[in-house]
Structure 1
Amino acid sequence: MNAKVVLVTGASSGIGEATALELKKLGYTVYAAARRVDRMRSLAGAGVRVLAMDVTNDASMEAGIKDIISQSGRIDVLVNNAGYGSYGAVEDVPMSEARAQFEVNVFGAVRLTQLVLPHMRQQRSGTIVNITSMGGKIHTPLGAWYHGTKFALEGISDALRMEVASFGIDVVVVEPGGIKTEWAGIAADNLQKVSGLSAYASQASAVAKMMRTEANGSRQSPPELIAKTVAKAVTARRPKTRYAVGFGAKPLIFMRRLLSDRAFDGLMRTAAGMPKP
């Protein structure tokens, strides 16, 4: 009953699953949330408490937090990990999909934050970890909506950090680089569906090829690296405000700071195998 209580969203695979297992090993009471409970059987077998939760559904999120407080009496850590990558030319992506991307990647995270903050304020302690991406600091071709969500969550995290500091609450941003999950392959498939036959078809083909090559490459970092980084942040007396980890994260963020906008554009085009304009 004295164990600290954690909620991890997007826990059915990849970073979320690895984070739930890592924090469970450290002795936390871990609640793992995802839309499909059947994909979290291995977590349940490891002693993680699983919740059906849709971060685009307010009632679902409210019920989930109510269950956690009812069962455990507190919540100490929220790991906002649920998210996906919607790639495609700005001209091609339907506004319904653009809104859906923001609903999952931004508004779901912020709504859960709103729901846990009253409990953390009452405790005078807590940590909110927002999993953004190196894509919250850099840009890649045909990724406007995805990068928009990650840039937004970075800015929200900065403002929130100042708001809640006086209540003993920390806000931490984790910016993964290339991680070996199903994310890149799914994003590449969706990109070609959206822009593969449009005026941007040649760009879509090049970027999708790059994504698949990286997804199948040996240089991608394992999701366990992010899980250990989250564990480091939530156990630190004074965590860093940001952790850039995983393949390419630190070098690319550094290059974005160093290069002009057009120079970085050129770097990204070259990386994607796209011709100069």
Structure 2
Amino acid sequence: MRTILLTGASSGIGAHTAMLLAKQGHRVLAAARRINQIPHHPHITSLALDLTDGSSIERLVHSLQPTMNIDVLINCAGYGEFGSIEDTCSEHARQQMEVNVVGPMALTRAILPRMRRAGRGRVVNVSSLAGEFAAPLGGWYHASKFALEALSDSLRGEVAHHGIKVVIVQPGYVDTDWHDDAMRRLDVASSGGAYSDMATAMRRYFKSAAVGRQMASADHVARTIVKAATTARPKTRYRVGPGATLAVALHTVLPDRTFDALTRAQFRYPRVQA
């Protein structure tokens, strides 16, 4: 049995992960802003956490018994701030970075001393394929995941000699409410301005059958996170979803303008002016 601290446990991938871990007999410290929505199970303890509030992170850490070892920290909380870079206000951009990057790293920093004291531990950061390449209208979301990937890579090298492993999980499209929320944010930012035609095309794309064929289930992603958290010798990265490995490979080998053209064709964005 491991003691596992998991953020984003009130919905989607996080909720599925909490239940899977609990059913395996692990002690799950499930953290979220909406604690009333965290799944109920004898092995799940609900904790209040707002990653944008440093005092909330401090309260959570102080609520843990001083001698309690955290075997695994899973940073699963996150959302997608969609809209053009020009349209997205600075407040929303900062919020995106706070929730997806700054908050998780603050929590990680607070938990690392316990892992170092124990001489072992694991940090699993739930990133995204959006941390490998960027597309129009998701700039701030991509930026947050690029940053999370870089910080994870740096951290992996820093803590390895303390017996601590750092693992990244990179889902592609996942069948949750995440996309609906992202499209609502897209509408707020870019539905009525210079990028409205692109916003319309993106909304249409995410309602298409093509996206449905690329979707992984939340349970599939959760099972991968559980594997990353509990297997004896984890990989440094786990990519999840149909075509995930191919998408990264195409971005790696294709020239930038060719990849840009494929992306515009995929979403049916307006043609680039000559």
TM-score of the pair, normalised by structure 1: 0.94
1:167 pairs with 2:165 = no
Pairing of 1:1-277 with structure 2 (within 5 A): 3-40=1-38, 43-45=39-41, 47-70=43-66, 73-213=68-208, 217=212, 219-277=214-272
CA distance in 1, matches of 2:100, 2:254: 28
Tell me if the contact between 1:21 and 1:46 (Cα under 8 Å) persists in the aligned partners. no
Give deviations 1:34-77, integer Å, cap 9, x for gaps: 1011112xx2245311111101111111221222335x711111
Letter in 2 for 1:269: R
CA contact under 8 A between 2:197 and 2:270: conserved in structure 1? no
Partner Cα distance (2:253, 2:142) in 1:
19
Shift of 1:110: 0.3
CA distance in 2, matches of 1:19, 1:215: 26
Residue identity in the other structure for 1:254: A
Q: Distance in 2 between matches of 1:219 and 1:140?
A: 17
Normalised TM-score (structure 2): 0.95
Sequence identity percentage: 43
Q: What RMSD in Å do the two structures reach over aligned CA positions?
A: 1.6
Give the conservation status (yes or no) of the 8 Å contact 1:164–1:170. Answer: yes
Q: Which moved more, 1:244-253 or 1:170-179?
A: 244-253
Structure 1: which 5+ runs fail to align? none
> 8 Å contact 1:51–1:64 — kept in the other structure?
yes
Q: Which runs of 5+ in 2 are unaligned?
A: none
SS at match of 1:135: helix
State whether residues 167 and 237 of structure 2, in contact with CA within 8 Å, keep that contact through their aligned partners in structure 1: yes
Q: Over residues 134-183 of structure 1, what are the superposed CA-to-partner deviations in whole Å (9 max), with x where a residue is unaligned?
A: 00002122111000000000000000000000000000000001110101
Q: 1:252 to 1:214 in 2, by over 3 A?
A: farther
